[in-house]
Chain A
């Protein structure tokens, strides 16, 4: 018999009402972000784990307990799963005070202890003094904190957060995100965060799982997913710039990447000469050559082109360079003073280096299979 794994593991499949073909795991103390566009099945997945929806096939295990197994018709009710759920709309009980909302999830404790524990939890989310307010008398951020306190009141085995920051303004969102980051440091349970905001996922999550049309496409650290997407579809989903197509060619006993007449060196390259590939380079991997004094970078994948546009954004300037030979522009950014010193302006000629170490190759994706970007 396999050793019971700590944390949460789920494998779920269904065709309707929303297609799902998802596999995920989340270790105790880990925060896993489920990222995908609207309608990608993120919330459905969370609802399956909570027990609010049963998938047609698959299983869910938490700390060795089987919560759901379609094959053996095991389906523990939501009350038996010990989950803390923060809903997108917070779903506070409008007729109860903040304190009563939290105490409502403390049914397992003797009545005398509930209020004291609810006070503690509200203090933990910095809501002391507002215990007797009803949700309507609390701001969006305060309501979210009550929802988090209520979710923690269950002493949950898993914490599920369904777009918990989407209903508040930008300033409050940053503050609440910082609070969650602080709070999670003290939680030794798996935490799942559903979001369509990639920046939020990168900031808060230990790992990201990308979902599209209900299918988990890639799981990994934010850095892995952002710099080494498993496919062009994922690169597009996470909004990566500089996604191009090329072909592997054999040269000097090794492989190089042929692209618009250039032969590019790639640090990690594998495959067969003649294979079409998709490739991506993050803007940080594109270096602008100095106009008056070419640098050492000239030797590494030099590409010349015409500046299509440059957009000054405070201390940085975003540049789009159309390479010689046409094609999609290369996007990168430089400090604004560097752009000015090198007389970067629309129509100007410029040269860049594409760092071999930053180029990431992916399987070629036919145009018909392309996916939409995240909103």
Chain B
């Protein structure tokens, strides 16, 4: 069992979910409620990771994260670190390839909140921020939960993009999915089987736990 890889995968999944959720909330609300120029293009861009082969997405991310690129240089000047073959790069890539898994369920959930209910919150004197916390997020909770489950599980299992952007550096970018691949390449079927089973159990446990939590909150809310 490659514990460092498992730990890294879990860290990546948690960090991605944590970073992506607020971004997805901010993106999903206008997509659900407001017409704006270029909305179709934004929606298509958000959905793109669903249809692109992970290696293609990974290739473009690898190219745009390089230290010679504006993004790579900006990140280096801000943090002193590189994006390619680092955990930071993995996290950024992970946020990007999970966009549709987080944004789309939230967009549907926000879309299901009647306009009048949001307006009623403002008429009650709530600021937009208060309305978001007290009314919109509790009502969009099922969509939020779906976004969390999908992002977490998808990050745990992602292989192509992670390999392209992060490579296979133990303790830095080698996730459990890549470690499984390593073991198979090394004809260590037993090691691969143990880790695969661990990944299945972990994903199942995460989804079940979040679903149960959702039901409890939904029942109470």
Binding site for B on A (CB under 8 A): 50, 52, 77-79, 82-85, 87-89, 91-95, 104-105, 107-108, 150-151, 153-154
Contact = CB atoms under 8 A, between A and B. Distances in A.
Nearest to A78: B122
Interface in B112-135: 114, 116-117, 119-127, 130, 134-135
* Chain B interface main SS type: helix
Given A95-B138, A104-B134, A85 B123 contact: yes
Contacts of A52: 119, 122-123
B37 interface: no
A174 B135 CA distance: 32
A85 B124 CA distance: 8
For the complex, would chain A's binding face be called helix, strand, loop or mixed by DSSP majority?
A: loop
Given A89-B114, A91-B114, A94-B139, A107 B120 contact: no
Contact of B124 (A77, A94, A154): A154
B83 to A, nearest CB: 41
Nearest to B116: A91
Given A95-B139, A95-B221, A104 B126 contact: yes
A105 to B, nearest CB: 4
A50 B139 contact: no
A92 B116 CA distance: 9
A91 B139 contact: no
Contacts of B221: 95
Contacts of B139: 93-95
Contacts of A79: 122, 125-127
A150 B111 CA distance: 24
Contacts of A82: 125
A194 B116 CA distance: 16
A95 B127 CA distance: 19
A150 B138 contact: no
Contacts of A154: 123-125
B138 A83 contact: no
B216 to A, nearest CB: 14
Given A93-B117, A95-B138, A150-B120, 8 more contacts: A52-B123, A79-B122, A85-B119, A85-B120, A92-B120, A95-B139, A104-B135, A105-B124
Contacts of A107: 124-126, 130
Contacts of A77: 122
A88 B114 CA distance: 12
Contacts of A95: 138-139, 221
A65 B178 CA distance: 66
Contacts of A85: 119-120, 123
B125 A108 contact: yes
Contacts of B127: 79
Contact of A150 (B119, B124, B130, B135): B124
Nearest to A53: B119
Contact of A105 (B116, B117, B125, B138): B125
A104 B123 contact: no
Nearest to A83: B123
B149 to A, nearest CB: 21
A82 B124 CA distance: 8
